[in-house]
Amino acid sequence: MKGRYFKQQERQVLEDIIQHRRTELGKNFLNQEIPETVLNRLIGAALAAPSVGFSQPWEFVIIRDLSIREQIKDCFEVENEKAKKIFRTKPSYDQFKLEGITNTPVNLAIFYKPSSNPILGQTSMDKSGPYSVCLAVENLWLMARAENIGVCWVSILDEEQVKQILNAPVENELVAYLCLGYVKEFTDRPQLELANWERRKSQESLIYYDSYQGNSSQ
């Protein structure tokens, strides 16, 4: 085989990073700056993600300005009030912070930028454009974990309001809004699992062979 050959020991490092990666819900962030060189390394990891047609359809807004983050937080509060009504039968919803917008040093808004020209590989499934941006998000997230930086994915936001606050071009789509910061702790298991909000699904229940017809996990 031509190209870099990876060995078992290296696979084990990746496995460790993947298994120890966590979603930080927002409570565990420390008041500690992220050096610019580290942030650039995270973005560099994102930019090496696969993108259908090598379209690289991603744009990143690095937000440190507190007044802008306070506007985003206002947007979260409005949306979270709506969410509380949806979960009124599950009062434990209130225990979660679910954002780290102003108690992290850096927020990152990651957008999908559609192309005005046709893109190779995107002519039949146009969702593969924004999906490519998600792959970049995961690269960044894993590199953040390797840098011992926690990530909070804030999705309780009104996309149009966020675009307005950030003066985003009308055609751009917000894919992910992340809060990044060093943390007190990476928990052993996901915080929503520890809180008994959701259970981990078994691998067997999620795998089918050849088709959905018949049994899973033959």
Footprint of a copy of itself on 91-150 (CB under 8 A): 93, 96, 98, 118, 120-125, 127-128, 130-131, 134-135, 137-139, 141-143, 145-148
CA distance 123 to 128: 9
Single-letter residue type at 113: K
Burial of 39 (0-12, 13-18, 19+ CB in 10 A): buried
Q: Which is nearer to a copy of itself, 5 or 35 (CB)?
A: 5
Q: Does 2 bind a copy of itself (CB under 8 A)?
A: yes
Closest approach, Cβ 97 to a copy of itself, in A, equals 12
How many other β-carbons are positioned within 10 Å of the β-carbon of residue 131?
17
Binder of a copy of itself out of 13, 70, 95, 102 (CB under 8 A): 13
Distance of CA 31 to the CA centre of its chain: 21
CA neighbor of 63 nearest in space, from 213, 168, 143: 168
Nearest approach in angstroms of CB 79 to a copy of itself is 4
Site string for a copy of itself, 156-195 (x = CB under 8 A): xxxx-----xxxxx----xxx-----xxxxxxx-x-xx--
Q: Total number of residues binding a copy of itself (CB under 8 A)?
A: 111
In Å, how far are 94, 148, 203 from 145, measured between CA atoms? 27, 5, 24
- Let me know: does 51 contact 218? Beta carbons within 8 Å: no
Site string for a copy of itself, 192-211 (x = CB under 8 A): xx---xx-xx-x--xxxxxx
- CB of residue 161 vs a copy of itself: minimum separation in angstroms? 10
Supply the minimum distance, in Å, between the C-beta of residue 210 and a copy of itself: 4
Cβ atoms of 154 and 101 closer than 8 Å: yes
Interface positions, 39-58, toward a copy of itself (CB under 8 A): 40-41, 43-45, 47-50, 52-56, 58
Least distance between a copy of itself and beta carbon 27 (Å)? 13
Residue 11: CB minimum distance to a copy of itself, A: 4
State how far the Cα of 8 lies from the Cα of 173, in Å rounded to an integer: 39
**Distance from CA of residue 26 to its chain's centroid?**
14
A 10 A CB-CB count for 102 gives 13
Shortest separation between residue 93's beta carbon and a copy of itself, angstroms: 7
Question: Which of 33, 36, 70, 83: binder of a copy of itself (CB under 8 A)?
Answer: 83
* Residue 187 Cα to chain centre, angstroms: 18
Please tell me whether residue 36 binds a copy of itself under the rule CB under 8 A. Answer: no
